[in-house]
Structure 1
């Protein structure tokens, strides 16, 4: 059952891979019940192979009550029945590998579902029991224990809800996210052992890597002090003892030639780089680039900072434009504020989708030309915009816990359109999808784009196919007018992105390989357009 040991030339695949994020619930519905599933993914593997991606990262597909989109896991060794079975997952991993596509699974180590056997046992056992030592149970403050044990804030943006829930027996338990996601106590040996066993379980089934959710949140100050009184070191973000956990995990991954990518949101470059030391995580997501506004100076600074962060530890950078938690690129780039601040993106924010699409096309060529790995969220290759979900159909707890201040993340999780002439754009059968598709979703359907030479899908296919021409070498910035980014890579390859207001004359004695839009009638690169050149 174990994955074959890759040839030496393949062991560094993750350093320059294009990795496609599959949000299973919204990718393709194989059994027609309105929810995406593993059968749907298996039926679309040829599409993913034609796109040219190197690996698939699956958002959690485990058994879950789905109180937070599957990030509330009840059983890490079982597939949620809505998605299929463990046997199907094993077939999917094997079939993808036959097409040259590796699989990355998502592990959520900070917390479990309140339906997890450990937490159910802890509730039944009562205060002071060994079962409760696996979590953070504490008595409350105040004369009758009626106040939460500390002042920690929720990790949901805009939420004013407490991170402690009191039980009828008087104990409070910690949950940095929803009450249905109790935090584990990572000082307990059983917690560490269980997660190492889970890693082995999936590596044995052929997965090539693991994405680690909320990777900087696991360790807590054992005293659980108030944040206001003890801001440094932070009582639950980026604590030093975390690195021992990941060094231990690395020994597990190395036995299978597995790789890790961490979700690490940290403003301190030096502390961020610690997670990427040679005996810890292989890579981490680059949120600086994802949240950067469409501005030449800001983008160049983000790229320089990212490369500088990774250089001391020899880790490759990752480039991400969008994922299941953020506003889709086409929509974000079509707004006055092109940076990422989810809480500020209220329903009805004015958006110029034509402008956003031009910029998203240029950003695709920019990101795919940079040194390192690229993560592509499903639907970005179709140019999907953010969908506005009717209030009565919203499911994301972020919306509810912020009392509507945050629009939530459902808008980027709407089921994909596959065929314009079929019900629900070919996502499944007659059954309405779990989230409603906008009325114009058929215009983005795969079957309308696949043979269109000017479509977003064609652009991504051509760019991914040509990307190896940039090689594995470093990036060298080239002199440019204001508002223009240009850099050279290996084999005479150059990427030029015009964010300025005037058309740009391309260098002489260079051959245009690919452009995100048409050149003007004088052969110049228009505003918000990118080009790949070869000398």
Structure 2
């Protein structure tokens, strides 16, 4: 069921290198799909409690259809105490009452499918909530019991077991171990203390998640986004080891162990048993990039997020060209498609990142005490980046609000913050709340149209009134209309199924052809000439002179490419 990669041709110093060309008939739906990430608690609130819900999402499906997306990815909506905004799951088969009911989910799925939109749900297999029935049973059972064997319990060190079993640290700050009350055992949690890690060497754990997959596949979901896909299997010795960063990615004996691939091969076989094309996409933070291809081999997952592209910290043509080249070439080696991403619920929003003095930097959140981004410049660069990203062969993910140009909430007060990253580090890491603020729909409505009342689980900044859907709908040049045009033209010109051919690159200018479209992005500040004879299909900013491309601007042209002349 693996997709075949759209062909790649790159031109370097006059020489060309061709990757295998895929017949369009061989492409699975996800190969060139635009997949829209919905963070349910922040998308649309139907009942006025200040938290987004499944009926709210269903009510906005016509908006998403008009935007032009092919599929939705829903972040967790399962039963949860919400210690980590739903990524601490207490029951994988139950919808949390905050978000509605299982019937609400079935209605959403049915209506989305009726509009031709597929639905992917989030799966969180690395850990459960500490309120999951399994973990409650583990705490009530003695060391060495079958109940504890589902998790990673170990004896503590020291004379009385008072020290953690090793020196591992939580991603969210502090030790990665918490002590079980009343005995020498400690349990591992690579994230929050309320998120105990499962033991994936235990056959019961593997059988349980295979059943969870079938539960949602039987309901008709089209796929799964697999959370922390690189973390399920740990070095069995659990050795002392410092987590360190390489290429901005955490590495160590708790990450990217080869044993995870046996799990995904088993899951692949389950998906193959269902009619239609079902898929999985890996959230796998790995380095070097070659390791990512292991997750998208023909008998494992179908996609993996391209975090090398997301994590780019420079705003120049050469940096982007290098990562694009490597991404397409590596995906081609395993006959998969590249999955482009520039924002999600875990990182500062792109318009704010690219408005910083070091454009593209990845701070762990931004608050009022930190550098405030240049909002106008950041939005200009984010719009140009969108034209680049959506012109590349492969699939792309859009995080809710990207189509509005939403910036980060950079002045959110500490008293409102709920991210365990902020709480566990006592504010040293600002956390991810700033990119999770509820969406603005109507400028003159309470909660900016997020719900029927004025409640929202995180306060919206006053500036969001300038980004509402109703202020952008039908307005020429608005970011929303730009995205609608981009997605329509991308489909019409089959860019996701296309072939990339580099034309020119210098420090500031990146130019390539994809089919009959020439793509140009000017990373610099000086105006650059556009090719003669080309017809402008779309530009990220209005062009005062049709023959010139201003700085921090991108354009799509046709009629000027060798393939169309």
The TM-score with structure 1 as length reference comes to: 0.95
Which of 497, 514, 530 is matched with 1:489 structurally? 514
Higher deviation after alignment, 471-480 or 374-383 = 471-480
One of 452, 455, 460 as aligned partner of 1:432 = 455
Q: Deviations over 1:224-274 (max 9, x none)?
A: 111159999942211111111110010011122310100011112332211
Question: Secondary structure of 1:120's partner?
Answer: helix
Identify the residue that residue 4 of structure 1 maps to in structure 2: none
Partner of 2:237: 223
Residue 510 of structure 1 is aligned with which of 509, 518, 534? 534
Match among 313, 326, 329 for residue 347 of structure 2:
326
CA contact (8 A) 1:33 1:431 kept: no
Q: Which whole-Å deviations, capped at 9, do the CAs of 1:339-360 have from their partners, x for residues lacking one?
A: 3423374543131111001101
Is the Cα–Cα contact under 8 Å of residues 470 and 493 in structure 1 kept in the other structure? Answer: no
Gaps of 5+ in 2: 1-23, 560-565
C-alpha distance in structure 1 between counterparts of 2:406 and 2:84, whole Å: 23
Q: Look up the SS of the partner of 1:460 in the other structure.
A: helix
**Over residues 26-49 of structure 1, what are the superposed CA-to-partner deviations in whole Å (9 max), with x where a residue is unaligned?**
000001111100110011000000
Q: Kindly indicate whether the alpha-carbon contact (under 8 Å) linking 2:242 and 2:252 is maintained by their aligned counterparts in 1.
A: no
Query: Which of 83, 106, 113 does residue 97 from structure 1 map onto?
Result: 113
What is the CA distance between 1:487 and its match in structure 2? 0.7
The range that moved more, 466-475 or 12-21, is: 466-475
Matches within 5 A, 1:334-413: 334-343=355-364, 345=366, 347=368, 348-387=370-409, 388-413=411-436
CA RMSD of aligned residues (A): 1.9
User: Alpha carbons of 1:300 and 1:448: their partners in 2 closer, same or farther (altered >3 Å)?
Assistant: same
Bigger shift: residues 14-23 or 338-347: 338-347
- Corresponding position of 1:313: 334
Give 1:74's aligned residue.
90
Structure 1 residues without counterparts, runs of 5 or longer: 1-7
The residue number in structure 2 matching 1:112 is 128
Partners of 1:28 and 1:501 lie apart in 2 by: 38
- Is contact 1:366-1:530 (8 Å) kept? yes
Q: Distance in 2 between matches of 1:250 and 1:409?
A: 32
CA change 1:534–1:255 in 2 (3 A) is: same
1:94-124 CA-to-partner distances (Å, cap 9, x unmatched) read 1001001000000010000001010011111
Counterpart position of 1:131: 147
| CA 1:408–1:344: 2 relative to 1, 3 Å | closer
| CA–CA distance in structure 1, aligned partners of residues 63 and 387 of structure 2 | 20
Q: Distance in 2 between matches of 1:224 and 1:501?
A: 51
| Aligned CA distance change for structure 1 residues 92 and 274 (closer, same or farther; 3 Å) | same
- What CA deviation, in whole Å up to 9, does each residue of 1:190-228 have, x standing for no partner? 100111111111111111110000000000122211115
Query: Counterpart of 2:75?
Result: 59
- Structure 2 Cα separation of the partners of residues 59 and 10 of structure 1: 29
3-state DSSP class of the match of 1:365? helix
User: What is aligned with 1:27?
Assistant: 43
Task: Give the whole-Å Cα distance in 2 for the aligned partners of 1:339 and 1:166.
Answer: 42
Q: Give the drift of 1:421.
A: 1.2
Please state if 1:271 is matched with 2:296: no
- Residue equivalent to 1:475: 500
Provide Cα deviations, 1:52-104, integer angstroms capped at 9, x if missing partner.
Answer: 00000000110100000100000110111000001110110110010010000
Q: Secondary structure at the match of 2:471?
A: helix
